[in-house]
A = this chain, B = another copy of it.
């Protein structure tokens, strides 16, 4: 009897799409205004979901307060009000597309969440663009 528990959080950040192996011209052609060298930014909305058995004593799959704090420490403190390209180590060499960000977040959280729980992450870059990853 497995239930999925989800917690929504958010962070604001600047980024630009950029492949360091390409010329500036090719970056501009492929990524358009998303590659503006002066950066632009988003209010990212993040949904973290864990799936597992309900613990019979607590009635919890996972205490949402613990999940909330985990997201705060592992993701919000590292990403919020940051320039992703300049200030988040992994994105110095990895293009911070929504797809790459969601995989980075999943990998970061996966090491901190009990292995018995399945993990999936959804990231809204804008209210109209979003991505999901569940480690498959």
Contact = CB atoms under 8 A, between A and B. Distances in A.
Interface of A: 1-10, 12-15, 17, 19, 21-22, 30, 32-34, 36, 38-43, 49, 54, 57-61, 64-65, 80-83, 86-87, 94-100, 102-103, 126-133, 136
Contacts of A3: 99, 102-103, 131-133
Contacts of A38: 14, 82-83, 86-87
Contacts of A81: 33-34, 36, 40
> Majority SS of interface residues in chain A?
mixed
Given A7-B129, A97-B60, A128-B8, A136 B2 contact: yes
A85 to B, nearest CB: 9
A22 B3 CA distance: 24
Contacts of A82: 36, 38, 40
A6 B59 contact: no
B97 A12 contact: no
B83 A130 contact: no
